[in-house]
A and B are shown apart, each in its own frame.
Chain A
């Protein structure tokens, strides 16, 4: 095995392959950093280019794009409060406040280093323990998926800000939006009102970018209409990575837990990085001694989000490489790439094409290092975005969002949906409804419904197996515990506020 690893690295360290990895990471970072363009799109565009290459070169390029695409999103998340990709939603919660407080350098430093560490951790897991993990992942059937999604949906209560009620309403709105289109299983059209365009429902990307990016643009545009203040550049200083060794050591448990959450969620086909960062963030907040500091520019929040999203990369590759099962759109594209190079992902991939597999591993590690270096030197330049006048920056962002939304399926309908969700997001912001629960509901609602219906088909209508399957039962208990905890916390909080009012 050691020899194979060596061979993998020596294949990557040739001039041509190295250039491809560098180019992949650079392009990936650009795609990731532009709200609306994602790793998926970067890979979709470059996939045909790889057909003409050797399999190992092609894979090296794709891995660079993947790592870069997931990591690049942290830039606009921290600087502009716009998540570059669904993987960076919760990076905005603390990243943007930190940047506003003049700690952009520190926010970047933490995000970059922990992206690197999370990625590295997951790649090592992928290299050394993927077969047993993949076996565990396929043990998750509909009962288990349903239970996990239920548990994940309870996270909404911790993302609700001041009003649990508003949080729940937002979550329900997300689930409701996800209902539009063909129903899972029987493809019966729901809530399409006779519009053919609605048959396929809404794509995640226009919904996410609309709710987060467009609404933010609208908000800034509105708040700055009266002021001719060109920039909102806060003061910033960047020295090294912007944080001390002591601060790093303080994050070790948070980092490890977030990496484990990222890998764990990444491994489960169908859930992926967009959920991993949110769940990791919420877990960090709930486990923290100072949950009230989250959302106001707290290091732990950034660490939790950025570690988990990069850790999901290695996780998602576990079932792909060891079983040939793609977990999300990115891995589905990678699967296509492998097949077109005559490599059939599946149980025999390691045996028959071990050399290429180790090139993939080596390329991932190298790309991860390159990503850190690029971002480290790049952050001094990125922060300059803050000195760009808003009236120039915002239109550019709008255009890019529309381009990205259109690119998902080459349909103009998605661009229209983007604008619709932008306005919806703006309205929600105005009425102080939290937006993250909408996305969480939108992603998780269909997974829960599909698996509930599949499970009931298995059992021919019997609910009991949802409770008696051990893994499912554990997660349902977690879900119950999570709800109870929230209720207790709220009762306590209400009592406190009552006493303060009374006194």
Chain B
């Protein structure tokens, strides 16, 4: 008798753990998935069916879907769940934009949408994941300019236009330069004059080979100044470095700096927009101050190469509807100081190719060790 009791306990315990494991597996797949609790529960109940079928039957799914699409006049999206891969950590601006759009897109497409963060290696781990994925519409990449840089600098051997581009959804025009409120520089020209008087003596933050690095290179080239460019890490690290007085100037998004400006901690030297931005009418642009450079951060959706055109179009159409017509979405995005701006796959390709050419020109002769 004595032996029996622990065994029954063991069986129960084992069962409990297995259920837990399944639950965890389902959630792990979902990571930070569908916004409603109902959805999460549903998936947890049938973790195997839901996820395994999708990944294994994907090749088949693609074929079927073509038939289905042509039969019904392109009405139905071929898969039930779309995984949006964000090649950056949770909590950053890429993640924020992906998740905000991810709240509204599922209704347009009649699918579930989960956002997975696959960080690392400057985003190349995540982009590679999508590049190699099955082209059935079940996996889409959401990323920004950095991908162009990764290919120009040779960190990735493919570029945005190698994917099946589904268009651009958001532009962030608030790429600004900021100083501590105690700084002696009131505007961009103060900085330029100080830099001319003391070449290499003013420190400015960047991530080497990142988007901000380009901005600094362009500024140096345009104005002929020389700055001490220091890699201090990501946006949060840059803000910490400015608060701690380690660095003189930091380039970050206006939306991230707004709070600190309101609190009287930071001051803006201007943003790199082509024109005054409606969302931030009082912020001077670099052009206003006589420095003719402009940068925009663009966020795009891209499917693996070879994804059927009608799938890409269907997705792109849904993005357009949300970005242009959904007031709730627009309000949420603008609250974060980004401009919802739709560009179709063709428009986006032209735009990206032009941008790429400009970046290449800027980076020519720059050695990133």
Which A residues contact B (CB, under 8 angstroms)?
30, 34, 37, 41, 44-45, 47-49, 51-52, 135, 138-142, 181-182, 185-189, 196, 199-201, 231, 269, 319, 323-326, 329, 332-336, 339-340, 342, 344, 346-348, 384-385, 387-389, 392, 396, 399-400, 403-404, 406-407, 409-411, 450, 453-454, 457-458, 460
Contacts and interface: CB of A to CB of B under 8 A. Distances in A.
A324 B125 contact: no
Interface of B: 6, 9-10, 13-14, 17-18, 20-21, 24-25, 27-37, 40, 89-92, 95-96, 99, 103, 116-122, 124-125, 128-129, 155, 200, 203, 208-209, 228-233, 236-237, 239-241, 243-247, 258-260, 262-263, 265, 335, 368-369
A450 B36 CA distance: 40
Nearest to A384: B9
B208 A324 contact: no
B25 A409 contact: no
Contact of A396 (B14, B29, B32, B95): B14
30 contacts: A34-B24, A41-B24, A41-B28, A44-B31, A48-B30, A48-B35, A52-B37, A181-B120, A182-B120, A182-B122, A196-B128, A324-B239, A325-B240, A332-B89, A332-B91, A334-B91, A336-B90, A339-B96, A346-B263, A388-B9, A388-B13, A396-B18, A400-B21, A407-B24, A407-B27, A409-B119, A410-B118, A411-B118, A454-B232, A457-B231
Contact of A400 (B17, B37, B92, B103): B17
Nearest to A181: B121
Nearest to B125: A200
A356 to B, nearest CB: 15
A454 B231 CA distance: 6
Contacts of A326: 91, 236
A400 B239 CA distance: 38
A231 B99 CA distance: 48
B121 A187 contact: yes
A400 B28 CA distance: 12
A200 B116 contact: no
B270 to A, nearest CB: 21
Contacts of B119: 200, 409
B232 A200 contact: no
Given A141-B244, A457-B228, A457-B229, 4 more contacts: A200-B119, A333-B91, A400-B17, A409-B125
A322 B230 CA distance: 26
Contact of B31 (A189, A400, A410, A460): A410
B255 to A, nearest CB: 9
A181 B125 CA distance: 11
A49 B31 contact: no
Q: Which of A187, A325, A388, A457 has the most CB of B within 10 A?
A: A187
Nearest to A399: B21
B37 A409 contact: no
A409 B120 contact: yes
B229 to A, nearest CB: 8
A19 to B, nearest CB: 13
A57 to B, nearest CB: 12
Given A141-B241, A392-B10, A34 B89 contact: no
A323 B240 contact: yes
A458 B244 contact: no
Q: Which of A34, A45, A329, A384 has the most CB of B within 10 A?
A: A45
Contacts of A37: 24
Contacts of B31: 44-45, 407, 410
Contacts of A332: 89-91, 236
A52 B246 CA distance: 40
B259 A30 contact: no
